[in-house]
Amino acid sequence: FMKKLIIILVTTLTLFACSSDKTTTISRVVDGDTFDVKYGSGDIDRIRLLGVDTPETYSKNKPDEYEGITNIECLDEWGDKATTYAIDILANNAVVLTSDPLTEERDYYDRLLSYIEIEGKDFSAMLLENGYARVYTESKISRTDSYLILEENAKKNKLGLWGCPTLPVNID
């Protein structure tokens, strides 16, 4: 009996140790889809959220990058709102990082490519559902189909950036 108990205990601790490697804390929100995490070891890593693209906050947004939205001022505003949303949800909170078997581990800028789950919810999906992001179709991931459904629903309901007026408003 004691031998079985020890085996169960060691197995449970091993599984816990393996799964806790993916649990970390968001130490800084760079923008709506880029974050710094701090591991238990004290190491910091930059994360690029898989599957989505929020409007830029540190560089210029491009017309039509968001399927027909040419109002750059509106995209700039939604870039700031996506960042604020990410801060409100993620900053200083524990998250689970999950990789995707269809993509590389790191991008061109050496950012770790990962999904982020907070309290069991997929943060990429949350961004899409609320209109803070578009599906990033430029790279292959396993969640594209489900993400495209969320994006289409946000577009249909003109949520978030999908409610941007087609043409910039002239202010005289």
Q: Which residues are catalytically annotated?
A: 48, 56, 111
Q: Give φ, ψ of 151 to 5 degrees.
A: -65, -45
- DSSP code of residue 163: G
DSSP secondary structure string, 111-129? PEEEEEEETTEEHHHHHHH
Indicate the length of the chain as a whole number.
Answer: 172
DSSP secondary structure string, 25-57? EEEEEEETTEEEEE-TTS-EEEEEETTEEPPPS
The answer to whether 161 and 131 are in contact (CB under 8 A) is yes
